[in-house]
Structures are given as C-alpha cells and as structure tokens.
Amino acid sequence: MKIGKKLLSILLAVILALNLCITAFAADSNSDIVVLYTNDVHCAVDDNIGYAGLAAYRADMLEAGNYVTLVDDGDALQGGVLGTLSKGAYLVDIMNQMDYDVLVPGNHEFDYGMDRFLELAGMQDAGYICCNFIDLTTGDPVFDSYKMISYGDVKVAYVGIDTPETFSKSTPTYFQDDAGKYIYSFCEGNNGQDLYDAVQAAVDDAKAAGADYVVAVGHCGTDEQSAPWRSTDIIANVSGLAAFIDGHSHSVIPSENVTDKDGKTVVLTSSGTKLAAIGKLVISPDGTVTSELVTDYTEKDADIAAFVDNIKAENDTLLNTVVAGTSVGLTIKNPDGTRAVRNRETNMGDLVADAYRIVGGADIGWVNGGGVRDNIAAGDITYSQIIAVNPFGNALCVCEATGQEILDALEMASRNCPSENGGFLQVSGLKYTIDTAVASSVKVDDKGMFVGVDGGRRVKDVQVLNGATGVYEPISLTKTYTLASHNYMLKSGGDGINMFADNHFILEDVMLDNQVLITYITETLGGVVPASYGSAQGRITAISHFSDVSTYAWYSGSVVSAYSGGIMSGTSTTAFSPDTAMTRAMFVTMLYRLEGSPAVTGNVSGLFTDCENGQWYSDAVVWASQNSIVSGITAASFAPNAVLTREQMATLIYRYELFTGKDAQTSIELAYTDAASVDGWALLGVAYCTDSGIMTGSASAFDPLGTASRAMGAAVMSRIAA
C-alpha cells in the first residue's frame, strides 16, 4: 500500500509522541532535567550528528528516566539548499517533526523578509519566544518573552533573546516601513542597557510566576564585535539566570562559568554550528547546573532520517544537475576550519566577487564574506553546491559610487580584522591593504550602521583596476565608479554598510546570486574554473605593526589593542616578541598603564632593595605595592626581572580587579586536570580568572607554573579592558 507524504508525516508524529509519553513516564522528582539544544544549524539537516542523531540521543535520555526538553536558539532556517528552495518551510517541517519545545529566532531567520518570517513563525508548532523583539507600532513584544515548563514540582523558565545585531546581520530594510523608518526594535539603545533591562524584566516576571530556574536561550554570541550585546555582557548586567544557552558566533563552549551582576555563577554554553555537537545542559535534583557537548554520538533515529530523506528526494534531480566544473578546489576556510572568508582573501571569495563585477559589467565587484558559505572541491559543480555557496537568494545590483564612499565601506568592513566579520569584503577590480596595527576609528549607531570615521584609517593603498589598460591605479576620492554586488550590500545597508542606498542604480535585482556565479563560470570561464583560481590572487593584504606578529595569530588583535592603547610597546620598533617570557616588572607596569599611570609618592628603593629608582617600572611597582596588588618575593625583594608564572599572573589580575572594585571570588572549584598543582595562595586568582574568562587553560589543564608570555599578557589585558 502506498502512503502519501502528509499521512506518513502524521503517522510518524503520532508514533513519536506516543513513544515520548511512554518513555518519559519514568521521570520523577529524582530525575535530571536534561535540556538538549542546537544553535546555528543553518539547514545542515543530516551533516555531522544531524537531526536523526539528535532524535536518537533524546530517546536515549528519555529511556534513562530523565526529563528532556529540546531547544533551538536560532539560525536554523537559512544557510543551505533546503532553506533556499523552500524559503525556510522544509526546515520548519523537520523541526516540527522533531517536536522542539523552545525556539528563539536568530538573525538569519529574518532573511526571507519580515512577512515570510512571521508566516514561518506561525507554522512552528513550538512558537518563538523573544523578550527584546518589539513591534514599535504597538510597543509590545512580537512573541512571549519566556516559556515556562514544569518538570514534576520544578519549574524552569526559558527566556528568549535575539541580538540587536540582527538589524545589520540580516537585512536592515526588513525592519523598516516604506518610508525607511524603523518599526521594529531589539532593545538596542543606551549602550546595551535597554537590552539588559528587557532581559531582567523577563527574568523577574518568570520568577514572579513561580520559576525555580531561569535559563536564557539567546542568539547573541561572544565575538568582540558583538559588544555590548554578547551573552557575557548580558550575564554581567543581569541577575537571576542559572544558565545561558548561546548561539550566533558559532562558538564551541562546552561549559564556562560567568559571573552575573550579583556575583553569582551562570553557566554559559554554546554548541558551535551545523550539529557538530549536541548541547546538553543538566539541572540535577540537588540544584547543580552543568553543561557539556556531545560530539561522538553515531546512532540515528530511523523515522526522522526517513522524513529528512523524503524531503531531499523531492529535489534530487534539480540539486544533482551538473552546471559547471572546476579544475581547483575553492575554499572559504582555513585548514583549522575557521572561516577565512570573513577576515582574509580566499580563492572562492575572488571567484564570487569576479562574478559580480564581470556579469554586472562594473569597475568594481565585491561580496560580503558572510554571504559566501561553502567550499567546492575540484571536479563537477552541481546546482546544489552553487546554492550552498550562495544560499541567501540575494540579487545582482550595480550602482554608481564615489571613491570616498568606497573607502568608507572598506574601512567599515575591515574594522574587526583580524577577527572574523561577516561584512568583510572579498573584492574584484580592487586591491587594498589593512594595517591592523591601526585601531579602528569607525563609528556606528545603535543599530550597527556606519556613521563615519573620526580617526586614523587602517585601510590603505587602495587601487582600482583600469579595465582598458589592465593596470591598477590609486583610487580617486572624487571619481565616480560603478560598483557591483547584491541588494543586501548595496540597497539594504547589509552589515552596516549603508552609504550606497541612495545612490544612482544602473542595475537593480536583475539576477539571483547563485545564477550570477553559474553565468560567470559558464559564459566567461568556458564552463570550468581555471587553474588561475588555485589560490587567492593578492588583492587584500593585511599587515601588522610588528613583523613577528602574524595578522591572523590568535593574539594578534590583543597585541594591536595593547599597543594602540599604550599598554604595551614592542621589544624594538618592528618586533613584539610574542613568545618571550613576561617578567614581573613588565606585567605590573601593564596594569599600571591600564589604570592610567596615576601619580605616586615614595621611592621604589625604599620598598624593595632590588628595585632602582628612576627605572621604567619604578612608579608601577610603587603604585602596585601601595594598593596591595603586589607583594615581594620576600619582604625586601620584588624580583622585577623574574619570569612571571601563569598562577602569578592570575593572582596579580585578581588583586587588580579587587582594587578596581570587582567582587571577591567566593568559589575555588577548579576543573583543571592539574588543579592540585596550583599553589594555595594562587587558588582564588586562578578561580577568578577562569570564571571571568580572563584566562583559560589548554587541553583541560591550567599549567600554573608555566611561563606567562608577552602574547598571553596582551590577551589578558584586552579581556580585562573589555
């Protein structure tokens, strides 16, 4: 007997519901509350663990007698083929089949337009929650601020939060009326305070309604560029949360303790992206809250797998059609899997930018790194692969732009380099250099939109290709160029690049982004991407002030911040020596500079016999000693040139934080494998730096007696100052 798709879906849903009810019956007052969560799946329905693996793991947790809740905190409906083909509907079908309990929208849930988003929201069985998404025409939240779920006698409230970056990291015009006036808000004002107030109000309301625990489910992220709306910012300015399940930045955070407004510990966790892991938050009967990431699970739920396969089969013929080929691998990633397309030139970025310029017939072409989403291996290229690269359905536009506008856009796009930024521009017909030693002076408004540049510029040596001569020439600020990209970047102020929206457009919305790429490969390149695209073509150069600091080293941004802020200097005019050991005098001097180098009284030689008056560190040591930040190695000896250990660094940081008014550390629980090696006098400092995220271990160890390097010093200084 042949069963129709709709009937099969109903039967599967009924069977799954019956199984959940029967299995969950074993849960009681002695059972754990297990919150399984996903974030930033981006249509990866069967990648990695996949939804079928998640369903199987949930069944295991239920069978073990736990209460189980399934949560998604955003960016599920966009970013892949199934999302593009159905404008999100296929993903809603799958999530309904999974029987999610709690949903929060991410910025990419809005990518199909506001009308479509609200339609999709109405199709979600669980419904969205979000405390800070406000309809300004009514003054009311669009969704409920929280959802309360009872587990026996215990009530847990889940508070939904979506980042105000949604304005610029979806499409700004979707949140405006026809006159360009914003009619929606994400509580973005007052440097984060409006958001904190909205979250606090939701937490307080939930507690007043009887919640025993309040868990934030946020699409906020931890990237520096997302301040002051990061999950860590919210935790630090709100009280009453037990945990924060996060998304948006694709961060992999198994468990991190963050201190809230009242000095209490909040568990922060995030599972990365594309179901590479299942997030697992556990509330035990004794009130303990823990989290971990499940990464090695291989079982699959047959019913969910069949449901997903059935949807994919409907589109197999179209998706598997070969539309072109490539002689080289095209990539957007670094070897370690990080997204190179968001902070440096890649060969895929070159190809897509070339497609916009050539197909659009423009002087310059560019594309935001966040809009180029996947690699393509050498060989045949299918329609599915093209959509995976350009899944958003943006459309080709060409406008006129002055050289000054182009420089402003490049400065805006490069402001976070070397950190990842979805607005980082991959370019064609253009070359430029980013001097990361220059601190960005870009100013944005409370919605993340470009306002201006009020200081030094880090984008330099901008050159435009002369199409007639084939020679790159310095850009002219007053000349008008033709610029090709897509509607998100040029018309809608995407990624905050808003300087072109009122310009004269030569072409508007003439071809979808995936077709632009197909057309370029087939009509200009003869159907096969040539070997000349085998590597990035040298259009974007990133430089650092120091020759021994790679622009893309993990500490590069911290070195730039410490150097430009006057906290650290180089060991020479061109060298920083990141791996050189930090001395006690160096680190105390850095804390002193961070405090503004206040005037001191007294001589250092009167405090410590091994310190000389008039040395570069003299006033710093006096200041630190007088404010109980340092003590000597002995009563009379400071040992200024002694190498600083990691536990000593943690202790100095902790004492400095106490000096500045931070609350004292109350817990010394350390999860490091070498916790027993931490000296007793350093326990509070190590615990404080761990809980606050100022210092982290490596491979589950803290290495307390290990040498603190200058790179580490720069990193902790940037975290203290954040």
For 285-344, how does the pLDDT look when each residue is reduced to its tens digit (9 = 90+)?
999 999 999 999 999 999 999 999 999 998 898 889 999 999 999 999 877 678 899 999
Residues 6+ apart with CB under 8 A from 341: 332, 333, 348, 349, 369, 372, 424, 426
Closest CA to 703 of 649, 658, 666, 667: 649
Same domain, yes or no, for 298 and 330? no
Same domain, yes or no, for 291 and 333? no
Residue range 29-51, pLDDT digits in tens: 789 999 999 999 999 999 999 99
3-state secondary structure of 393: coil
| Alpha-carbon gap, residue 260 to 52, rounded angstroms | 36
pLDDT at position 561, please? 79
Residue range 666-716, pLDDT digits in tens: 888 898 999 999 999 999 999 999 988 899 887 789 999 999 999 999 999
Buried-exposed string 35-52: b where 16+ CB fall within 10 A, e elsewhere: bbbbbbbbbbbbebbbbb
Buried-exposed string 332-366: b where 16+ CB fall within 10 A, e elsewhere: beeeeeebbbbbbbbbbbbbbbbbbbbbbebbbbb
- Computed over every residue of the chain, the mean pLDDT equals 91
Closest CA to 160 of 132, 194, 120, 122: 132
In DSSP notation, 579-609 reads TSBPBHHHHHHHHHHHTT-----S-GGGT-T
Residue range 425-471, pLDDT digits in tens: 999 999 999 998 888 999 999 999 999 999 999 999 999 999 999 99
Same domain, yes or no, for 108 and 147? yes
As a whole number, mean pLDDT of residues 18-28 equals 49
| Alpha-carbon gap, residue 327 to 633, rounded angstroms | 64
Q: Which of 522, 543, 564 is the last residue of a domain?
A: 543
Same domain, yes or no, for 433 and 307? no
The number of distinct structural domains making up the chain is 3
Which residue is it, tokens 């990624």? Answer: 495
Q: Which of 543, 570, 594 is the last residue of a domain?
A: 543
Same domain, yes or no, for 154 and 200? yes
Question: Does residue 627 surpass a pLDDT of 80?
Answer: yes
Please answer whether residues 162 and 213 qualify as being in contact, where contact means their C-beta atoms are separated by less than 8 angstroms. Answer: no
Please answer whether residues 618 and 679 qualify as being in contact, where contact means their C-beta atoms are separated by less than 8 angstroms. Answer: no
pLDDT at position 700, please? 84
pTM given for the model = 0.68
Same domain, yes or no, for 35 and 127? yes
Which residue is it, tokens 């002193």? Answer: 592
In the chain, what percentage of residues exceed pLDDT 90? 78
Q: What angle do CA 214, 260, 597 make, to 5 degrees?
A: 165
Residue range 349-383, pLDDT digits in tens: 999 999 999 999 999 999 999 999 999 999 999 99
| Alpha-carbon gap, residue 398 to 417, rounded angstroms | 26
Question: Does residue 634 surpass a pLDDT of 90?
Answer: no
pLDDT at position 336, please? 67
Residue 317 belongs to some domain of the structure: no
Please answer whether residues 378 and 328 qualify as being in contact, where contact means their C-beta atoms are separated by less than 8 angstroms. Answer: yes
Residue 551 belongs to some domain of the structure: no
Please answer whether residues 630 and 651 qualify as being in contact, where contact means their C-beta atoms are separated by less than 8 angstroms. Answer: no
Residue 443 belongs to some domain of the structure: yes
Q: Which of 543, 571, 599 is the last residue of a domain?
A: 543
Same domain, yes or no, for 388 and 488? yes
Give the H/E segment covering residue 85.
Answer: helix 81-86
| Alpha-carbon gap, residue 400 to 386, rounded angstroms | 28
As a whole number, mean pLDDT of residues 130-156 equals 96
Expressed as residue numbers, the domain containing 76 is 5-312
